[in-house]
Structure 1
Amino acid sequence: MSDQRKRTGLGALATAGADEDFSVIDAIGGPRGVVESMLPGVVFVVLFIATNDLNLTIGVSAALAVVQVLARLVQRQSVMGAVSGLIAVGICLVWAWKSHEARNYYMLGFITNAVYAVLLGVSLAVRVPGLGLVIEFIRQLPTERFGAWFHGWMDDRDLKRAYMAITGLWLGLFVLRLAVQVPLYVTDHVAALGVTRLIMGIPFWALAIWVSYLVIATPLHRHKASAAAHAAASHEPPAPSPSAG
């Protein structure tokens, strides 16, 4: 399997094409990635509900996150995803520990969802789809001639329309998470907040990636084919001039 097919998240969408296989499971990190992403949150909410002991819950959750990284190191596997997850879980646990409130374990999620929602909303307002910027940046790093790179996909009306659509989709996802979860945080319903966070986490992310693929696969494939044909034509040698008679 190529490195491109192992890309996750928006990186997987950047390699999408109408004639290519696309796996949602691979795009969200594979079965192991899903388990590693969800397990700390599951352990936190279940253990806190069962014991109502915040310090014990924090200690066990932190130990679990560290074990996940060590397991990958021992198995000589990539640890980047696990390390980034460890950092995120660490921030959440420290926030809950310092404030002595279990509900603050979810504060980082609120902040990141709000920031993403604002950025995507602004991008839609200025008609430069944020998801398009990210996917195209992953697909082809604009190391030079930024204007040509930018207009190369922005001037493709079908592709831009698809990027606008999925940007709106992801904006809706972030706003929906906040609309449902913030009231649970304010009213201190930790158990309901934890369960809701799990449901609206990986499952919603997988659904958003799958729908995004369905929307952009065909226009992105056509754009790639058109760009390849144009590049090939620009490198063709000039036609020989007629010989003098």
Structure 2
Amino acid sequence: MSASKQSTQRKRTGLGALAGAGDHAGGDAGEDFSVIEAIGGPRGVVESMLPGVVFVVLFIATNDLNLTIGVSAALAVVQVIARLIQRQSVMGALSGLIAVGICLVWAWKSHEARNYYMLGFLTNGVYAALLAVSLAVRVPGLGLVIEFIRQMPTERFRAWFRDWMDDKALKRAYMIITALWLGLFALRLAVQVPLYVTDHVGALGVTRLIMGIPFWALAIWVSYLVIATPLHRHKAAARAREATE
């Protein structure tokens, strides 16, 4: 894969898609930016959701935790093998396999199906805490991530940091989307933890699916709408400065 293709793929996946948001601001923004591609494409969506769907459906149908764990684990492995056979990138499927593996081991060791979702609670809690701290110190966490993806500060970190932090409009946009993502993680915990505590595994599984990829896609799309214009103007100003130097 060429460097240009790798860059394009990076920008169109997850938060990397937001790093290229300024490139698509304007009349063709809706055509260039795809939420489906930003969350991994149709296949990536299916691979992300399928183990969770199988887990909750099979457990509700059989109430057999060992069978549910075995089938879910086999499915995650098959997804990686399919990628290997087709000679496609396995990083997404492999990271998914590791995450599913941790969840399944947690449920198996504790003998409680609800603990399949414990890793998700921990990661959402950590993300929410980090974003809350970043808002408190007025350094938007999403801004750090997007700017790091957009232009990795291999040197002159202070200049890189001040470049986007001193742009009031861009910083404000980053603060808004950081608050948005903090709200997303907090909402997930507020809705799902009570279901975990009361051991409503079926309802918890369905809620996790609804608040998973669909919420992620919505957050990416809204974030794109918020930052596209200020990021485009920031990039244009940077190019103008370079042209005069």
Query: TM tier, shorter chain?
Result: over 0.9
Secondary structure class of the residue paired with 1:3: helix
Q: Does 1:39 align with 2:50?
A: yes
Q: How many Å apart are 1:231 and its aligned residue?
A: 1.4
Look at both structures and tell me which one has the larger radius of gyration over its CA atoms: 1
Q: Structure 1-normalised TM-score?
A: 0.94
Secondary structure class of the residue paired with 1:193: helix
**Matched letter for residue 206 of structure 2:** V
Q: How many Å apart are 1:180 and its aligned residue?
A: 0.1
Equivalence for 1:84: 95
Q: Does 1:75 align with 2:80?
A: no
Q: Does 1:159 align with 2:170?
A: yes
Q: Does 1:169 align with 2:180?
A: yes
Ranges of 4+ aligned residues in structure 1 off by more than 2 Å = 1-7
Q: How many Å apart are 1:16 and its aligned residue?
A: 1.0
Q: Does 1:6 align with 2:9?
A: yes
Distance in 2 (alpha carbons) for counterparts of 1:232 and 1:73: 46
Give yes or no for contact 1:47–1:57 (8 Å, CA) kept in 2. Answer: yes
Where do 5+ consecutive residues of structure 1 fail to align? 235-245
Q: Give me the CA root mean square deviation.
A: 1.0
Equivalence for 2:121: 110
Alignment of 1:1-245 (within 5 A): 2-7=5-10, 8-17=13-22, 18-19=25-26, 20=29, 21-234=32-245
Q: Structure 2-normalised TM-score?
A: 0.94
Distance in 1 (alpha carbons) for counterparts of 2:172 and 2:33: 21
Give yes or no for contact 1:48–1:54 (8 Å, CA) kept in 2. Answer: yes
Distance in 2 (alpha carbons) for counterparts of 1:87 and 1:3: 24
Q: Which stretch has the larger CA shift, 168-177 or 4-13?
A: 4-13
Question: 1:128-167: per-residue Cα shift (whole Å, max 9, x none)?
Answer: 0000000000000001000000000000000000000000
**Matched letter for residue 86 of structure 1:** L
Q: How many Å apart are 1:233 and its aligned residue?
A: 1.3
Distance in 2 (alpha carbons) for counterparts of 1:93 and 1:196: 18
Distance in 2 (alpha carbons) for counterparts of 1:159 and 1:2: 27
Q: How many Å apart are 1:3 and its aligned residue?
A: 3.4
Identity %: 86
Distance in 1 (alpha carbons) for counterparts of 2:97 and 2:38: 20
